[in-house]
Structure 1
């Protein structure tokens, strides 16, 4: 087992929680955070939220939940090899998409447009809002009262936040997450694990869907190399077995590159504490320069061949209309929301538009589809 690195976050030295709580007798602070996320309503809803394919339409494609689990698996592997805190890394991976609305990034784009006059909508900031306010499972406080390190990592996993969205500005007033610095290495590793997971599993799902052919994917050099390696290892295996082998090889190559490149960055920077990682002024985790270019090529292929494929847009387009219609309807008539939400509309603490956005953002694909049909009598999508 790799010993704890000097730059790893130590749960025994956590900066604590916004609301003081007695420590657990059986779990570290970060293990406790992970468990609270797993039991959260928002986490369960991820199983019916779009990753690429609308979640209501097929049981075999990734959803936001299975995506998050794959990110967590890769993140733990990386953290273990680097001597980081595995529990914090896993926690960040599991929670990173809790603020995503239905219908994937298309849904987020629509909700942001709906909120243009009300400080906008950002799924990363909404994750913080979910975890600090919207989850109401404890008698003593709103949210899950997670540790500073977990909230910091979720707020800054893509780097310093120079222009924080509204939800982050609001929380900053109570609990300074030091948004102008880089996050812990655990957060940086969770972010790169997200890249590895979605690039490889979207390739897998795209091939399974038939929206692009293997021959098209093999025009991407990194995919071709993994395919030829799989074919050489198993020359008599059918394509149905070789594609998973190819994806597995690709995950291994990306993970190995991150480990080597990150170790080189750490050797050069020589951080001796987690605070030194935050003060480094640049990321200390990532791909090598050579592989980063190959990953960009894979992303470009997936953007054209999958994310913008007419059959994908044929589902996400109506999904965007559903979100726009629901937002407009509830903003005009908040009494049509469920009772626990309609009651808040009498004096919404952060404005009626934000209340409606919170409600709509929490919907799963299928709940949004059914609500829209019940309110409008139109079936834009069928569950």
Structure 2
């Protein structure tokens, strides 16, 4: 069996930055504190524990019914936030292994990166941001931290999942250093400082680019299946057209749908190999994870050429898929559902479950923030059902595939 030695610039679970609650361990001390009162729960590293806590959380399970691209799709084959997160984690593990990073930390970050998304994806986020405008706003990335540090609380003695500093840091800086954190992230950073101004670990940088690779390509797959994209649309992009010609030459007699899926797989492979090659060059001379954080630049990611292709692809996807007229119409209807839920709970908190009523502060902004927490945790179908129960009419026209 091949043994992969961790690179010197990789995060080390034996030298993690501690947890917010419970016995705190200094960097370099091995073993780590037991889970509860002297018990241990299997021979796992601290980053494996993080990953497992995420997988076993209710917030992670709810991702199965949250929008990825299409709102409340009727078909079984369209991606949801859950299947997307699993695909991101698969890509992240491949990259981490090739670069000799900590696979468990990378996987945990990939699995947790979308935990803060409300129902209906960005449409729901926009509605909450508008409703919360006078109370500090709403951001799904900060909400992911709020979810794992305060809302999802299965343990008797502390709030949150009590994840390691390294995982929380990576979630907070999913897109790099944060210069102006919103209220949610600032509040959490004050309680457990996350060094928001510095670049995160390579594991976090790799998790972020894995997210880009997954949704850039898998959204093409879903867009083709739904009929929102056509092959002729894709061939407008020269680098995709080049790959399509390669696929046609390799599989000239294959059915068109299989050729298209091969195109998507090839694109993922090209991007993954590009990230491995480019990142390996960037980390030459890095002797520790602190060197990565102090480099003051992104080390893990696409080459400049691939980054330019990826930006072109993103623009194409916004023009052809995300801002398609049917998508925009569905998003407006979804925004209305979330806005109506926020208005209803703000006017009459008795409409909320008893446990949420019990934790509801009396005054704003804290009161509205807890209402937003409740709505953000909803799945698409739960939000639709809640709106129907409150207003006596089921929202129509939300599913456009």
Give the TM-score range, shorter chain: over 0.9
Note if 1:62 corresponds to 2:79. yes
Match of 1:152 in 2: 169
Contact 1:79–1:189 at 8 Å: present in 2 too?
Answer: yes
1:336-383, Cα deviation, whole Å (9 max, x unpaired): 101111122254797210011000111111110111111112332368
Partner of 2:200: 183
Whole-Å Cα distance in 1 between the matches of residues 308 and 7 of structure 2? 29
Instruction: Give the helix-richer structure, 1 or 2.
Output: 1
Structure 1 residue 59, shift from structure 2 partner: 1.4
In the other structure, the counterpart of 2:380 is 365
Distance 2:177 2:207 in 1: 15
- Match for residue 135 of structure 1 among 152, 155, 162: 152
1:307 aligns to 2:322 (yes or no): yes
Q: Distance in 1 between matches of 2:336 and 2:208?
A: 30
Take 1:264 and 1:6, find their aligned partners in 2: how far apart are those partners? 15
What is the CA–CA distance in structure 2 between the aligned matches of 1:297 and 1:381, rounded to whole Å? Answer: 34
5 Å matches for 1:108-257? 108-257=125-274
CA contact (8 A) 1:2 1:81 kept: no
Distance 1:188 1:291 in 2: 16
Greater Cα shift, 308-317 or 26-35: 308-317
* 3-state SS, counterpart of residue 57 of structure 1: coil
What corresponds to 2:289 in structure 1?
274
**Match for residue 4 of structure 1?**
6
Measure how far apart 1:56 and its partner are.
4.3
Q: Which runs of no fewer than 5 residues in structure 1 stay unpaired?
A: none
Aligned position for 1:376: 391
TM-score for both structures, normalised by structure 1: 0.97
TM-score, with length taken from structure 2: 0.92
What runs of 5+ residues in structure 2 fail to find an aligned partner?
24-32, 35-39
The number of residues matched between the two structures is: 381
Q: Is the 8 A contact 1:315 1:381 kept in 2?
A: no
What secondary structure does 2:205 align onto?
helix
Q: Which moved more, 1:288-297 or 1:373-382?
A: 373-382
**RMSD between aligned alpha carbons?**
1.4
Is this contact kept in 1: 2:278–2:302, CA < 8 A? yes
Contact 1:212 1:306 in 2 (8 A): yes
Runs of 4+ in 1 over 6 A off after TM superposition: none
| 1:79 is aligned to 2:69 | no
